[in-house]
């Protein structure tokens, strides 16, 4: 253990001597997280508030066919303007979010108490159109319901007769879980920075020293190679843990000063401490894997070539959960990267993680890290490791 600590201290001292690299590696995450959270959160909050509260300008084709409907829309903060000649092209070219077209038969159908036809023209693939379309659909449903009730009353029919089933909705979602729906990207950010937080030190400690031919004298000492390798991994883990702590502090401060509902996310000290515990196994997995890769390549440039693939690995479970949500199952807490995503979302949503889930998660995470450590130690026993050529 004395050798391990000596090597770890030596790697950390070398890292902190290169102040520019140290600052980039240590502060990139803590500085990037507030910018992303505050910047993106402000833009989303501003856009939603503008679309929900401002007057909606709605192009309408055929206003002369339904003056009562147009007047009803005006009363609901929807200002109608003449519609274009080619509504489909107008929507595709993003000149309008939604266009309402009133059928020429609307008046006859309305007077005959038949369903009067209107058409909404929009592009469902555009996210900006979702709120305007939702507002217009709500107003049209309100108008349809009001007219239907008046027709029933005029014929001596109780308004309740038009509702065969009364649906009562009970939403068991907590405020924390609803607010966490907007944080689908959060697990990727946290896992990414914990996974690659000590990347530069881990690669430089093996591939870099091998390229500079400073690894051979170190391996020529009486110290065991496994101890030397463990010291390098320990140094990278300590550096990655420092970066992780700073990032969680930035994460906590970001949500405390974030706009709107993001400020209500639970970022208490106990939750931050549990997030740290969740992400520490990923620090071990990342540094052990990078050490294994660095020991199998011949140069620092070759080791850096793997970074593109490694940057995509934490993204896979996040994308899978966004495109194909799955129910929580115990086996998920044993799968690297997927387990971290599930644990992070549970904590942010304010849900309780059971002792069994903690046991499976920590056992699988530490087991994967130790397996990579063992494989890296086997690579360090090769005699050609010290040779750069």
- Whole-angstrom distance, CA of residue 307 vs CA of residue 21: 17
Domains of the chain with CATH codes: 2-44+176-386 (no CATH), 55-161 (3.40.1710.10)
Name the percent of the chain in helix, strand, coil, to the closest 5.
70, 5, 25
* Residue position matching structure tokens 């807490």: 333
Question: How large is the average pLDDT for residues 349-374?
Answer: 89
pTM of the model: 0.68
Where does the pLDDT of residue 356 fall: very low under 50, low under 70, confident under 90, or very high at 90 and above? very high
The percent of residues above 90 in pLDDT, for the chain, comes to: 5
Question: How large is the average pLDDT for residues 55-65?
Answer: 86
pLDDT, tens digit, for every residue of 140-166? 888 888 888 877 777 777 766 666 676
- Whole-angstrom distance, CA of residue 144 vs CA of residue 83: 22
pLDDT, tens digit, for every residue of 309-319? 888 887 777 67
pLDDT of the residue at 34: 73
Token digits for 180? 């966490």
pLDDT, tens digit, for every residue of 213-264? 777 777 777 888 888 888 888 888 888 888 888 888 888 887 777 666 666 6
pLDDT, tens digit, for every residue of 124-144? 888 777 888 888 888 888 888
Q: What average pLDDT does the structure give for the chain?
A: 80
CB 198 within 8 A of CB 239: yes
pLDDT of the residue at 176: 59
pLDDT of the residue at 371: 93
- Across the chain, the runs of DSSP E, i.e. the strands, are 56-61, 78-82, 98-102, 118-122
- Whole-angstrom distance, CA of residue 370 vs CA of residue 348: 28
């Amino acid at each position: 253990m004395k050798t391990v600590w000596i090597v770890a201290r030596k790697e950390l001292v070398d890292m902190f001597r290169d102040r520019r690299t140290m600052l980039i590696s240590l502060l990139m995450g803590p500085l990037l997280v507030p910018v992303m959270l505050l910047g993106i959160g402000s833009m989303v909050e501003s856009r939603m508030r503008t679309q929900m509260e401002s007057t909606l300008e709605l192009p309408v084709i055929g206003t002369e066919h339904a003056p009562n409907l147009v007047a009803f829309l005006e009363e609901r903060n929807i200002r109608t303007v003449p519609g274009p000649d080619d509504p489909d092209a107008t929507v595709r070219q993003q000149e309008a979010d939604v266009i309402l077209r009133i059928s020429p038969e609307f008046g006859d159908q309305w007077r005959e108490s038949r369903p009067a036809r209107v058409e909404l023209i929009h592009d469902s693939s555009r996210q900006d159109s979702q709120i305007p379309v939702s507002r217009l659909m709500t107003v049209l449903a309100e108008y349809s319901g009001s007219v239907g009730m008046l027709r029933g009353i005029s014929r001596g029919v109780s308004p309740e007769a038009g509702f065969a089933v009364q649906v009562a909705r009970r939403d068991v979602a907590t405020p924390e879980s609803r607010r966490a729906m907007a944080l689908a990207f959060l697990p990727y950010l946290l896992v990414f920075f914990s996974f690659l937080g000590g990347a530069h030190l881990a690669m430089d400690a093996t591939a870099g020293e091998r390229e500079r031919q400073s690894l051979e004298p170190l391996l020529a000492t009486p110290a065991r190679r496994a101890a030397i390798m463990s010291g390098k991994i320990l140094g990278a883990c300590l550096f990655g843990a420092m970066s992780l702590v700073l990032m969680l502090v930035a994460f906590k401060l970001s949500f405390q000063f974030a706009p709107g509902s993001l400020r209500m996310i639970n970022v208490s000290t106990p939750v931050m401490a549990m997030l740290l515990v969740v992400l520490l196994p990923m620090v071990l997995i990342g540094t052990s894997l990078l050490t294994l890769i660095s020991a199998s390549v011949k140069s620092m440039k070759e080791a850096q070539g793997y970074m593109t693939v490694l940057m995509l690995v934490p993204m896979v479970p996040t994308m899978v959960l966004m495109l194909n949500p799955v129910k929580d199952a115990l086996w998920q807490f044993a799968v690297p990267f997927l387990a971290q995503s599930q644990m992070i979302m549970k904590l942010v949503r304010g849900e309780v993680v059971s002792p069994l889930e903690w046991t499976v998660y920590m056992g699988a995470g530490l087991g994967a890290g130790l397996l990579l450590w063992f494989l890296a130690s086997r690579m360090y026993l090769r005699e050609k490791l010290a040779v750069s050529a």
